[in-house]
């Protein structure tokens, strides 16, 4: 066994990426305070060919130095929009036919392993502030809330880790449904 070289990975260029079919998922960052987490969101969105990233409220926007540090070029390949208020981003997504799913610890949340992606559906995944979580106004606008089960002593996962876990699960279902 050997590691593949970058050339052997056969990655597409930015223009080809922008033209290719996308996974019907949008990431919404609701007042995320760490630009490093924002950069990680861009990189994950690129890795799974998501439609775009919505940056809301205090969430940093490219070309912020810390975003660029963790995104390593994904801010160039990924489409993104900024909204001063997350509620406006949610309204925009609902008008486009997206189902809005927060990833949060809440009453009536659905354990991630129990959520089933519906064929032909489009989803927006809302990830909240590292301290306060998803805003209460946004919580009232959701179609559902997903929760990643945890069994340790900490109350939550880092947003970039949580985002990767949830996106991978929904991507896998959307792309590899029988």
**pTM for the structure as a whole:** 0.96
More confident site: 6 or 108:
108
CB 146 within 8 A of CB 115: yes
Q: What is the mean pLDDT of residues 167-171?
A: 98
Determine what percent of the chain is predicted with pLDDT higher than 90: 97
Q: Say whether 124 sits in a helix, a strand or coil.
A: strand
Does the N-terminal peptide bond of residue 63 adopt cis geometry, omega within 30 degrees of 0? Answer: yes
Q: What pLDDT, on the 0 to 100 scale, is given for residue 42?
A: 98
Mean per-residue pLDDT of the chain: 97
Q: What pLDDT, on the 0 to 100 scale, is given for residue 176?
A: 86
* Domain ranges within the chain, ordered by starting residue: 17-175
Band (pLDDT 50/70/90 cuts) for residue 178 is low
Q: Say whether 44 sits in a helix, a strand or coil.
A: helix
17-175 falls under which CATH superfamily? Answer: SPOUT methyltransferase, trefoil knot domain (3.40.1280.10)
* Cβ neighbour number for residue 123 with a 10 Å cutoff: 23
Give the DSSP letter string of 83-108.
ESSHHHHHHHHHHTTEEEEEES--TT
Buried b (16+ CB within 10 A) or exposed e, 30-69: bbbbbbbbbbbbbbbbbebbbbebbbbbebbebebeebbe
Instruction: State how far the Cα of 39 lies from the Cα of 64, in Å rounded to an integer.
Output: 9
pLDDT at 99 over 80: yes
Question: What is the token pair recorded at 2?
Answer: 């050997």
* Cβ neighbour number for residue 29 with a 10 Å cutoff: 29
Dihedral, CA of residue 127, residue 64, residue 75 and residue 85, to nearest 10:
40
pLDDT at 110 over 80: yes
CB 28 within 8 A of CB 93: yes
More confident site: 152 or 178:
152
Q: Say whether 170 sits in a helix, a strand or coil.
A: helix
Q: What pLDDT, on the 0 to 100 scale, is given for residue 177?
A: 74
pLDDT at 113 over 90: yes
Give tens-digit pLDDT for 9-51.
999 999 999 999 999 999 999 999 999 999 999 999 999 999 9
Instruction: State how far the Cα of 8 lies from the Cα of 11, in Å rounded to an integer.
Output: 8
CB 30 within 8 A of CB 149: no
Give tens-digit pLDDT for 120-154.
999 999 999 999 999 999 999 999 999 999 999 99
């Amino acid at each position: 066994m050997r590691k593949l070289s970058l050339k052997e990975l056969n990655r597409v260029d930015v223009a080809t990426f922008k033209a290719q079919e996308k996974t019907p998922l949008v990431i919404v960052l609701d007042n995320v305070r760490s630009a490093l987490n924002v950069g990680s969101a861009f990189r994950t969105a690129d890795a799974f060919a998501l439609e775009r990233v919505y940056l809301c409220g205090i969430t940093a926007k490219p070309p912020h130095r810390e975003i660029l540090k963790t995104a390593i070029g994904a801010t160039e390949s990924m489409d993104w929009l900024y909204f001063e208020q997350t509620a406006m981003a949610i309204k925009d997504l609902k008008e486009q036919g997206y189902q809005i799913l927060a990833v949060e610890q809440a009453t009536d949340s659905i354990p991630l392993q129990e959520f089933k992606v519906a064929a032909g559906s489009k989803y927006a995944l809302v990830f909240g502030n590292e301290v306060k979580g998803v805003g209460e106004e946004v919580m009232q606008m959701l179609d559902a809330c997903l929760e990643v089960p945890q069994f340790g002593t900490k109350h939550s996962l880092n947003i970039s880790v949580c985002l990767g876990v949830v996106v991978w699960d929904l991507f896998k279902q959307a792309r590899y449904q029988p």
